Structures are given as structure tokens and as C-alpha cells.
Amino acid sequence: MPPATKTGTPAVKKAAAAKKAALKGTGGKVSRKVRTSTTFRLPKTLKLARSPKYPRRSVPRVSALDAHAVVKFPLNTESAMKKIEDHNTLVFVCDVRSNKRQIKDAIKKLYDIDAVKINTLVRPDGKKKAYVKLDADVEALEVANRIGFI
């Protein structure tokens, strides 16, 4: 007579479950995502900041427009002199690529003048002209004499 098997022990139950898992599989039914659009959009993933191993440029670029390049020379034509006397405004010829902020900083650095307002225009010959309006307590005539173009 063969030995009696115990069907209720945990080891037998575990072995039966392993047999069933091997035969049928454990995945179960996989539900697919319902797509509502015909175009596939790539999912947004983590974008890390670049950390280069060496700098691609050995020396940083130096700006070609320093104070001496921005302001070329003061203008002393008749109309410029009239601006100095009547409107407390100095007139300079500047680099065409410079903007009003650069002109203001260059005039501050070169001539120690605080400009209230700067108007610019590009002349027909291609040069940029800057009208530098000075504060009421600073005389443009005195500044022009100090610069040395009167």
C-alpha cells in the first residue's frame, strides 16, 4: 500500500501554485492604453543640464565696443554749438553698433558727465550722432571747455 499524501500541508499548496504559475503564467490580462489622437507625442523625460568636461572656448570674448570705440569724437558744428548754448546738450559722433546705454556709460567713463537723456540718429553718411542732454545744474558750455573742443 502506497504512503498516504497530505494535500493540506503548506509545502504541497506552494508546489501546486508554482506548477499552475509555470503552466498558465503570472502576467494575467494586460490592459492597453486607449489612444485618442492619431499623432504620437514623445513623453517628456528628464533633461539634465550640460556639464562639459572642458570649456569649448579657451578665452572669453572681449567686447569690441569699449568706451573709446563707442564715442568717436564730439561734434562742434554751428548747430551743435547752438544745442550746447540753448538746450544744454552735447553732440557726439558714435559707433553705429552702439546703443543709448553704451553711449551713456562711455560718456560717464570718458568725461565724467551724468547724462539725463540721450537721443540718437544715423546720419545719411552712415555715422551715428548722439545728443547728450545734461542735468540743469551742469553747464554744457563748461563741460565742452573742459573736454577741449571749444
pLDDT (average), residues 34-54: 94
| CB atoms closer than 10 angstroms to residue 99 | 14
Q: Which amino acid is at 3?
A: P
Q: Per-residue confidence at 7, pLDDT binned at 50, 70, 90?
A: low
The answer to whether the beta carbons of residues 140 and 84 sit under 8 Å apart is yes
Question: What does the pLDDT look like over 72-129, one tens digit per residue?
Answer: 999 999 999 999 999 999 999 999 999 999 999 999 999 999 999 999 999 999 999 9
- Give SS3 for 100: helix
**What are 94's strand-pairing partners?**
71, 128
CA distance 93 to 131: 9
Q: Is the pLDDT of residue 3 over 70?
A: no
Q: Per-residue confidence at 61, pLDDT binned at 50, 70, 90?
A: confident
| C-alpha cell read off for 103 | 553711449
Q: Per-residue confidence at 52, pLDDT binned at 50, 70, 90?
A: very high
